[in-house]
Amino acid sequence: MTQYVHPGLDISAADIVKSGKPLYPRVPRDSDAASIKVEPDVTPTPVERRNEILAAPGFGKYFTDHLVMATWTREAGWGDARLVGSDSSAGGHAMNALHYGQSIFEGLKAYRQEDGSVWTFRPEANSLRFQRSAYRLALPPVPTDLFIGAIEALVRQDIDWVSDDPEKSLYLRPLEFGAENALGVKPSDKVQFVLIASPVGAYFSGGVKPVKVWISEEFVRAAPGGTGEAKCAGNYAASLLAQQDAAAKGCDQVVWMDALERRYIEEMGGMNLFFVYGFGADARVVTPALTGTLLPGVTRDSLLTLAGDLGYAVEEGKISVDQWREGATSGEITEVFACGTAAVITPVGSVESKNYGSWTMGNGEPGPISMQLRAALVDIQTGHAPDVHNWMHRIS
């Protein structure tokens, strides 16, 4: 059986961080030509309807007129990359992804700046993580040229779907899945790469409103050696029951602990967590270290850099639930927030649990450092602050 080539991708994010190398280095592109055939043979959404959607898009409810797809086969590798109408479909009911979950995805956004230009944020980082997720799921890596070329082609085609409201953006969802129609349990011989786009506003209704979280003591999100570090569909499927449990307890989101000791905080729902110790210029910003079971968030990585730029002490460490409760109660931990591409930064207002008690973070309102970090990130993304780290990628 032909093996895929995964040069350098079989190193876990945890090991990269341990080695002191950057998790998401800038990857030079081989060429600009991803050779995507443009076949936009669709009737576009009428302008009035599109404007109606853009006025109140919600999150992930509407999709633009087109998508990009490319196919990999074991014999021929990647090919047949094309931009087509968004109702094009890529498989049948026997597809490997539907039965055995050989499926990964990414999330990134395109932002319109005041001069009308459209940009994405760190697409190479998403491409690299997509390739590492592919390695873990025995999928072939999508070349960075194809990944970024698809983004450029789709955003340029559907550019009118990028709102000029700085609180809105175009969410880009690359996905890759086993598309062979066969029921044998083995890596798929046919794989599909698809990129879809959805105009979005705030991820949580109510915008930047603190959430109430439920610490799950019954379920775990990921165990060492599992797929926690990969952005794979199965991780999200496995989270839904715990999320439902949290909702039944009157909470907005579930917080995960580590699988081995069931003590250390890992993530909130599908987002990374940050803890702020102290106040003002002396504050220390701490996030759970990447152990192999956490998703190495691009927003997490960017906030670690921005917090350092703002002069805060920054640390990747281990925080137990007991330390969280005691730190919040004593006032040592002043703010906690979750972060991700979709919601950017979401403050945690209060915590509930079965055996660890309940507590409130500060006065339950968004903390000043959480909001400062959010503004620092969003200002770069929307062109209101200089892009000193060269994170932005111009599309149009």
Nearer to ligand COI, 83 or 392 (CB): 392
183, with CB counted inside 10 A (0-12, 13-18, 19+), is exposed
Helix pair angle (298-309, 368-381), 10° resolution: 110
CA distance 46 to 42: 12
Q: Give residues with Cβ within 8 angstroms of 292, minimum separation 6.
A: 12, 13, 14, 224, 225, 228, 229
**Smaller CB separation from ligand COI, 34 or 150:** 150
Shortest gap between Cβ of 205 and ligand COI (angstroms)?
14
Report the residue number, 210 or 340, with the smaller CB distance to ligand COI. 340
Residue 107 or 367 with smaller CB distance to ligand COI: 107
Q: Which is nearer to ligand COI, 257 or 298 (CB)?
A: 298
Shortest distance in whole angstroms from residue 270 CB to ligand COI: 4
Shortest distance (Å) from residue 48 CB to ligand COI: 28
Q: How far apart are CA 63 and CA 40, in angstroms?
A: 15
- The CB-of-297 to ligand COI minimum distance in angstroms stands at 7
- Residue 209 CB, shortest distance to ligand COI, in Å, is 16
* Site of interaction with ligand COI (CB under 6 A): 107, 270-271, 340-343
CB of 59 to ligand COI, least distance (A): 7
Q: Closest residue (Cβ) to ligand COI?
A: 340
Which residue's CB is nearer to ligand COI, number 78 or number 121? 121
Nearest approach in angstroms of CB 95 to ligand COI is 21
> What is the C-alpha to C-alpha distance for residues 345 and 337, in angstroms, rounded to an integer?
6
Specify the residue, 42 or 240, whose C-beta has the smaller distance to ligand COI.
240
Specify the residue, 50 or 300, whose C-beta has the smaller distance to ligand COI: 300
Q: How far is the CB of 330 from ligand COI (least distance, A)?
A: 31
Half-sphere exposure of 199 (CA within 13 A, CB side): 24
Backbone angles phi, psi at 255, to 5 degrees: -115, 135
The four Cα atoms 316, 322, 325, 330 give a dihedral, to 10 degrees, of: -90
- Residue (38 or 376) nearer to ligand COI, CB: 376
Is the distance from CB of 353 to CB of 287 less than 8 angstroms?
Answer: no
In the complex, the smallest distance separating the C-beta of residue 378 from ligand COI, rounded to whole angstroms, is: 14
Nearer to ligand COI, 107 or 140 (CB): 107
CB of 148 to ligand COI, least distance (A): 18
